Chain A
Amino acid sequence: MPLREDLKTVLVLGSGPIKIGQAAEFDYSGTQACLALKEEGIKVILVNSNPATIMTDPIMADEVYIEPMDVHTVTKIIEKEAPDGILPTLGGQTALNLLINLKEAGVLDRYSVEVLGTSVANIKRGEDRDLFRDLMIEIDEPIPQSTRIHKFEEAFEFAEAIGFPLIIRPAYTLGGEGGGIARNKEELADVVRSGLNASPISQVLLEESILGWKEVEYEVIRDANDTCTIVCNMENLDPVGVHTGDSIVVAPSQTLSDRQYQKLRDASIKVIRSLNIVGGCNIQFGLDPYSDEYKVIEVNPRVSRSSALASKATGFPIARIATKCAIGYHLDEIENPITERTFAAFEPALDYIVVKMPRFPFDKFTNGDRSLNTQMKATGEVMAMDRTFEGACNKAIRSLELNQFSLTSENYHHLLNDQLQQLVAHPTDERLFLIAEAMNRGYSIEFLHEITHIDPWFLQKIETIVRLENSVKGSGVLSVAQLWELKRANISDQWISTSLNMTLEEFRNMRKMTGVYPGYKQVDTCAGEFEVVTPYYYSTWTGSDEVPYEKEEKALVLGSGPIRIGQGIEFDYCSVHATQALRANGVKTIVMNNNPETVSTDYSIADRLYFEPLAVEDVLSVIEKEKVSQVFIQFGGQTAINLANELSEYGVKIAGTSVNTIASMEDRNLFYQTLKKLGLPAIEGAFAYSIEEMKRITTNLSYPLIVRPSYVIGGESMHILRSEEDLASYIEQLQVSSDRVWPMILDEYKDGKEYELDAVSDGENVIIPGIFEHIERAGVHSGDSTTIFPPISVTHEEKRQMVEITEKISKDQGIVGIINIQFVIQNGTVYALEVNPRASRTVPILSKVTGMPVIEWAVQVQLGTPLSDLHHELGLLEEPNFFSVKAPAFSNGKLGGVDHFLGPEMKSTGENLGLAYTEAEAMGKAVSMLLPTEGGLLCSFSSIDRTDRLHSLTAFVERGVTLYGTPGTADYIEGLGLPIQRVTRNVSEVETLIEQGFIQMVYCTPTKGRDKMRLGYHVRALATKYGLPCFTHIDQLALTQLEPEVPDYEVHSLQHYHQFNVKAVIK
């Protein structure tokens, strides 16, 4: 059946802020959905509160609502836009949950909105554990056997029938507390007893364990005519027990026979049919390594992270095709956009192997619990393709940007064998490297298989890499044949050169002289069977180069690699816009990136896409092959900026701002000197290389001071020292730390309001689209602060100074392109805190709310167009007549052992934006956190936060909220004349209060120590555990002054805001 003509308007649900488990993949799928609908002439209404996304660009949908993703708001949007259909299956779990809530609130029926693709009832059957279990039993598909028990004895009856090991999950406990694995009767007795105790309804679920089985996933797509095809199957290197998002995954499966492959394929089709899904679906299986027995583990009745991966792994755009199916098309009516001569009704065949590796945040959260289990912890992922497993694996390692260029790593040499064995046996983010270490110590594959259950095929391949790495170490000189053997496995130039005591450049020259070059191959969905025009490529050292050289000027845009804390989807937005801007200016543009979740790695974005690591060697190879004329590095976050210097040393032309300027902006001393030279206020500070030097330096500086070690240790990299006393205790603490903290950077800390702006400069003039004001004062990472635009408490003079500083720096330093500057204002003096010579986190927001093409301008000035030709107005642009508030979103609860207070280290993973004509409403929408009108607020303020400002808490008391306070806080608040209940310092008593429902919200600011021994740490951990709203910075008091009821706010699309931007119109 072709397109349904009755669908005129469709509402697409986005996925909200980036969180662990729900990252950029839904920007990719949502963007594809919007485009797929628009090209059919359907009016697209989009709602997504995440402003960093590409999908929320005004060109992506007819009406873009950057509004809270709740029933109340979306109902208003539905009321206003009267969509015929709603598409929820491309916005992850957030969208599905929202859909179910809308359905249950009767909204969809009231406004006759049809759910496209898959019905609510079937979504629930896929999502709800019990309904899913019943369905699987009904269609005779095997699932792990399980039972719910209330009595201790019942556990043994089940164990008798099923055998060990068993998994015990207590009902209604948070984070799986009280659960575990039992391998024998004794363990069963222990775990069941604690599980029954932990469960508030004294119920535990006993489940047959399939830990150690192979984990295999299938991506299935189905149309309304019941045609089903498998887009891709994937095998996890990590067996069942590690969340698939945290697993190393290969595509296609490697160790399954055809019979097993087809058996699981048949089961996948049976499952998608039983759920009557129209669109995409992901099915996860456990497969016994010693038989053909399998179990269905999980079904996602929607497009997922795995489908984004499968789309990039095969070239088959699942989200796009799923959307077409949802609006009536059959698979054989949809052209395969890769081949343009075959149809979507087919199954991609790969002639390469794909390796996906997760990117974990443990470089930021060094205190976090690194163990991997069924709770996902990775923030992002990388994908690599090659024609050998070894090659794809090595490319993936380089793509992770861990500064690791081999499997062999010195980091684990210090471990004792016993420790090593323990670590290898219990999965963590480091396991791959630990296995390599074990192999280097002579552990056998059989033994490693026994303790890890990783299939010997993978271990064999890992051993090959380790062997090859070792083979270079001893050899003084390599034969050409040896070199080819190493490169076939994609052993890095970096590793080989270091092992041969050569510089990278020397080695590369030698390699090229001997004729050892990579070839580039096309991703074509069909293993070469059809001629394909799609410009989507990967490198390999196993064959010829099939990518034709075209003799025209080419630009290279470097992407931003995997999503991690501090470098999120916003840089994908910038990379994509830069690419589009270059192409619009007639420049042939190449994109390099390795993140399968993103829009930038869609083959339709650039003239050519190279899916490659962003390591110097890989980037250089592409530059050399394509004879790239200039490289754009300002749009791919720190990843791209970090490459600037080295690329330039190889003679590569960097577009825009010079490499020297980049260096002098990033180097603290040079930056300070620049400010001084320009007569601008600069924050005093210095480097200290020892404790003695630190003491000496501090005598010339005035307190408070901010200290930053060169390397982060214990997650406590930055500290604010308010007195000599603080310094003394900090030094005391330092003496037990490692040497890696030196040099230490000491700066005077300006306890003022913080602002930031993004500007485009052509070296002469600047355009500043806007200035953001941070709600929290300096000391909170800009990524974690709540910010408002236009700024609300800044004077004209202060604005003028910010503009002047921006202009002076840009002109003096010859900034060409984009720049981000952060300021702190103390007593009327504006200090430039930091200059980032690149696009920043705020660029997408600024571009969207002002409607100004910020990235396009940046690209055009880099191509040589003066700013005055691009826009009629220079300097600071007119502010819009509405407010935009950005609030951070954290992945609390996903990472054990991480303290989520606001501080100088960034911890948030995503953001929400609130738009409104009043600042309070915008703030309310951004924070979107319901303040309690009854119950209790637990307060624990650090001593420096105990000031008159706490009078604001009166608002809560007036609403009827009971205040609870830890001893010191309670004393102080009582002194202010407010009623407060005292809690003891006993953590379990506090927990009991929460458990019994006395506390609905927590306000807990950290003290200087921030160690795990303190009560505050435990209070915040409890808030995370029980999912309570938790404020951790004193300046957030402003947010608590908002109206507690759901305000009857207006919803407007971005297009509406632009159209009715009255101020701008008057001008």
Chain B
Amino acid sequence: MKEKGYLLLENGVFFEGVRVGSTQDMTGEVVFNTSMTGYQEILTDPSYADQIIVFCYPLIGNYGINDVDGESEIHALSGAVFGEACDIPSHYESQSSLVDYLNKYNISGLVNIDTRALVKIIRKEGTMRGKIVSSIHEQVAKPFFTHKQHTLVEEVSVKSSVYFEGGSPHIVIVDYGYKKSIRTSLQAEGCRVTVVPYSSSYEWISSLNPDGVLFSNGPGNPEELSYYYPTIKKLSESYPCLGICLGHQLLALSHGASTTKLHYGHRGGNHPVKNLKTNKVYITSQNHGYEVMESSLVHTSFTATHLNVNDRTVEGMVHTRLPVLGVQFHPEAHAGPSDTSFILKEFIQLVKENAHAAS
């Protein structure tokens, strides 16, 4: 009954395990996440589009899947690899098991994998593509993998604007594959929110009369979206803006900075970020494969506000003249710590002050 399955990596190494969920062969970039909790949030984060997520922590699914913790309705990921996927969960909120969930949403999964050994390969050789398959024999002759990255954001962004009732101010989220928690955090602060497609024009967004604009997280290489830099730049010159993750990278790029791919990315809930003004360190939730190059900020009016304590990469920046800031980490948490939830509050404050000054 247990069907064997394999994760075949681009470098020729393969891991044998047991298939769970969909038995469809799937390819994607193989990335690892070090979080010990929050698998439901991770599985539903659209930023994982075209990626196979390896869970470092071996016991996943213990508290099941519930109705509240999904970060989107989309399952953009290509697949998931586990040490163990719990099929008899225990939690008062649990609605189904992880295994049932994978089945229901047709997600290709593998269990009984030595995820640590796999993670060490990725750490050493860098992120690479891989394929979850049922047989490795027939793979030998096949050409390796197909890229489809240019459509990633297209796949996960809303197709038309969606309005969410609330008070003031009014925030427009430019959706590159946003996590629900970004919106609910804003709503919890009293905001009304409009989520617009990533391809929305400046004119369209202006017509919504936003008090502030938030560029969301999303999958893939930010440079694939170079066509939209002018729009983003113009928006940032007109409204208070916050960029989160991919949104932060796009803000930097649109102002002339450059980005580069990290060796194996930052994915987890334990990344230390230092505020360069106060020297305080916050533990943040992160999920990104690209970074804004610090050296490139000199070409812009942005200065770095936050650095990663471990590898000194840029984690946050602020514009010297405009009410515009970006953070590489996820202040909305879910999964992960909410140490930096004040970033969203501060942004709303900035928006309010700006609105006040303008009136």
B110-118, B129-137, B291-299: which lies at the interface: B110-118
Query: Which chain B positions have C-beta within 8 A of A542?
Result: 58, 83, 112, 114
Partner of A332, one of B114, B115, B270, B309: B309
Query: Which chain A positions have C-beta within 8 A of B23?
Result: none
- B63 contacts the other chain (CB 8 A): yes
**In the complex, are the beta carbons of B268 and A349 less than 8 A apart?**
yes
Give the 5 A-B CB pairs with smallest separation, nearest first: A543-B114, A258-B38, A527-B56, A457-B90, A349-B34
Q: Known contacts A226-B280, A289-B92; decide if A258 and B58 are in contact (CB<8 Å).
A: no
- A1042 contacts the other chain (CB 8 A): no
Partner of A225, one of B35, B58, B279: B279
**In the complex, are the beta carbons of B274 and A332 less than 8 A apart?**
yes
* Distance of B120 from chain A, by nearest CB (Å): 5
Give bound CA distance, A342 to B36, whole Å: 19
Give the residues from 88 to 107 in chain B that come closer than 8 angstroms, CB to CB, to chain A: 88-93
- B343 contacts the other chain (CB 8 A): no
**In the complex, are the beta carbons of B272 and A262 less than 8 A apart?**
no
B197-205, B333-341, B347-355: which lies at the interface: B333-341
Give bound CA distance, A716 to B117, whole Å: 53
Query: Which chain B positions have C-beta within 8 A of A341?
Result: 310
Q: A332-B309, A388-B84 are known contacts; what are 19 more A-B pairs with Cβ within 8 Å?
A: A225-B278, A252-B37, A257-B66, A257-B93, A258-B269, A266-B337, A332-B274, A332-B279, A342-B309, A345-B309, A346-B310, A351-B34, A352-B58, A457-B88, A460-B88, A527-B56, A527-B116, A527-B268, A528-B56
Interface string of A543-580 (1 = CB under 8 A from B): 11010000000000000000000000000000000000
Give the residues from 53 to 69 in chain B that come closer than 8 angstroms, CB to CB, to chain A: 56-59, 62-63, 66, 68-69
**In the complex, are the beta carbons of A343 and B84 less than 8 A apart?**
no
Query: Which chain A positions have C-beta within 8 A of B88?
Result: 456-457, 460
Give the residues from 65 to 87 in chain B that come closer than 8 angstroms, CB to CB, to chain A: 66, 68-69, 83-84, 86
Query: Which chain A positions have C-beta within 8 A of B90?
Result: 255, 455-457, 460
Query: Which chain B positions have C-beta within 8 A of A289?
Result: 92
Partner of A349, one of B40, B56, B120: B56
Give bound CA distance, A347 to B92, whole Å: 28
What is the total number of residues of chain A having a CB less than 8 Å from a CB of chain B? 55
Query: Which chain B positions have C-beta within 8 A of A229?
Result: 272, 281, 283
B residues adjacent to A (C-beta < 8 A)? 32, 34-38, 40-41, 56-59, 62-63, 66, 68-69, 83-84, 86, 88-93, 112, 114-117, 119-120, 123-124, 268-272, 274, 278-283, 309-310, 333-339
Give bound CA distance, A266 to B92, whole Å: 21
Q: Known contacts A258-B336, A343-B310, A521-B116; decide if A350 and B57 are in contact (CB<8 Å).
A: yes
Partner of B270, one of A225, A255, A269, A347: A347
Query: Which chain A positions have C-beta within 8 A of B59?
Result: 254, 353, 388-389
**In the complex, are the beta carbons of B89 and A262 less than 8 A apart?**
no
**In the complex, are the beta carbons of B62 and A351 less than 8 A apart?**
no
Partner of A457, one of B36, B89, B119: B89
**In the complex, are the beta carbons of A346 and B279 less than 8 A apart?**
no
**In the complex, are the beta carbons of B280 and A351 less than 8 A apart?**
no
Give the residues from 216 to 256 in chain A that come closer than 8 angstroms, CB to CB, to chain B: 225-227, 229-230, 252-256
* Distance of B49 from chain A, by nearest CB (Å): 21
Query: Which chain A positions have C-beta within 8 A of B333?
Result: 262
Interface string of A334-346 (1 = CB under 8 A from B): 0000000111011
Question: Which B-chain residue is minimally distant from A459 (CB atoms)?
Answer: B90
- A387 contacts the other chain (CB 8 A): yes
* Distance of B288 from chain A, by nearest CB (Å): 14
**In the complex, are the beta carbons of A343 and B272 less than 8 A apart?**
yes
**In the complex, are the beta carbons of B57 and A349 less than 8 A apart?**
yes
**In the complex, are the beta carbons of B63 and A257 less than 8 A apart?**
yes
Give the residues from 992 to 1025 in chain A that come closer than 8 angstroms, CB to CB, to chain B: none
* Distance of A539 from chain B, by nearest CB (Å): 13
Give bound CA distance, A269 to B337, whole Å: 11
Interchain residue pairs with CB less than 8 A apart (30): A225-B280, A225-B281, A227-B280, A229-B283, A254-B59, A255-B91, A257-B38, A257-B91, A258-B37, A258-B40, A261-B37, A262-B337, A269-B339, A289-B92, A332-B274, A347-B283, A349-B36, A351-B58, A353-B58, A388-B58, A388-B83, A456-B88, A527-B34, A527-B57, A527-B116, A529-B123, A542-B83, A546-B116, A546-B117, A546-B120
Question: Which A-chain residue is minimally distant from B42 (CB atoms)?
Answer: A258
Question: Which A-chain residue is minimally distant from B39 (CB atoms)?
Answer: A258
**In the complex, are the beta carbons of B37 and A256 less than 8 A apart?**
yes
Question: Which A-chain residue is minimally distant from B2 (CB atoms)?
Answer: A481
Query: Which chain B positions have C-beta within 8 A of A377?
Result: none
**In the complex, are the beta carbons of B117 and A543 less than 8 A apart?**
yes
A residues adjacent to B (C-beta < 8 A)? 225-227, 229-230, 252-259, 261-262, 265-266, 269, 289-291, 330-332, 341-343, 345-353, 387-389, 455-457, 460, 519, 521, 526-531, 542-544, 546
Give bound CA distance, A331 to B271, whole Å: 14
* Distance of A525 from chain B, by nearest CB (Å): 10
Partner of B119, one of A253, A332, A348, A527: A527
**In the complex, are the beta carbons of A346 and B270 less than 8 A apart?**
yes
Give bound CA distance, A348 to B269, whole Å: 10
Query: Which chain B positions have C-beta within 8 A of A330?
Result: 279, 281
Q: Known contacts A543-B117, A544-B117; decide if A255 and B123 are in contact (CB<8 Å).
A: no
Query: Which chain A positions have C-beta within 8 A of B116?
Result: 351, 387, 521, 527-528, 543, 546
Binding site secondary structure of chain A: loop
* Distance of A263 from chain B, by nearest CB (Å): 9
Question: Which A-chain residue is minimally distant from B68 (CB atoms)?
Answer: A259
Give bound CA distance, A345 to B270, whole Å: 10
Question: Which A-chain residue is minimally distant from B279 (CB atoms)?
Answer: A225
Query: Which chain A positions have C-beta within 8 A of B309?
Result: 332, 342-343, 345-346
Query: Which chain B positions have C-beta within 8 A of A544?
Result: 114, 117
Query: Which chain A positions have C-beta within 8 A of B36?
Result: 252, 349-350
Give bound CA distance, A255 to B37, whole Å: 9
* Distance of A865 from chain B, by nearest CB (Å): 42
**In the complex, are the beta carbons of A345 and B281 less than 8 A apart?**
yes
**In the complex, are the beta carbons of B281 and A227 less than 8 A apart?**
yes
* Distance of A260 from chain B, by nearest CB (Å): 8
Query: Which chain A positions have C-beta within 8 A of B120?
Result: 528, 546
**In the complex, are the beta carbons of B58 and A529 less than 8 A apart?**
no
Query: Which chain A positions have C-beta within 8 A of B334?
Result: 258-259
**In the complex, are the beta carbons of B58 and A387 less than 8 A apart?**
yes
**In the complex, are the beta carbons of B310 and A342 less than 8 A apart?**
yes
* Distance of B282 from chain A, by nearest CB (Å): 8
* Distance of B18 from chain A, by nearest CB (Å): 12
Among A266, A343, A527, the one with the most B-chain Cβ atoms within 10 Å of its Cβ is A527
Give bound CA distance, A508 to B337, whole Å: 46
Question: Which B-chain residue is minimally distant from A336 (CB atoms)?
Answer: B310
* Distance of B335 from chain A, by nearest CB (Å): 4
Query: Which chain A positions have C-beta within 8 A of B93?
Result: 257
* Distance of B271 from chain A, by nearest CB (Å): 7
Question: Which A-chain residue is minimally distant from B270 (CB atoms)?
Answer: A347
Give bound CA distance, A1018 to B192, whole Å: 73
Give bound CA distance, A350 to B36, whole Å: 7
* Distance of A541 from chain B, by nearest CB (Å): 11
**In the complex, are the beta carbons of A259 and B69 less than 8 A apart?**
yes
* Distance of A526 from chain B, by nearest CB (Å): 7
* Distance of B117 from chain A, by nearest CB (Å): 5
Give bound CA distance, A871 to B339, whole Å: 60
Query: Which chain A positions have C-beta within 8 A of B34?
Result: 349, 351, 526-529
Query: Which chain A positions have C-beta within 8 A of B339?
Result: 269
Question: Which B-chain residue is minimally distant from A229 (CB atoms)?
Answer: B283
Query: Which chain B positions have C-beta within 8 A of A252?
Result: 36-37, 57
**In the complex, are the beta carbons of A331 and B281 less than 8 A apart?**
yes
Q: Known contacts A262-B333, A290-B92, A542-B114; decide if A346 and B63 are in contact (CB<8 Å).
A: no
Query: Which chain B positions have C-beta within 8 A of A387?
Result: 58, 83, 114, 116
**In the complex, are the beta carbons of B281 and A255 less than 8 A apart?**
no
Give bound CA distance, A332 to B275, whole Å: 11
Query: Which chain A positions have C-beta within 8 A of B63?
Result: 255-257, 457
Question: Which A-chain residue is minimally distant from B114 (CB atoms)?
Answer: A543
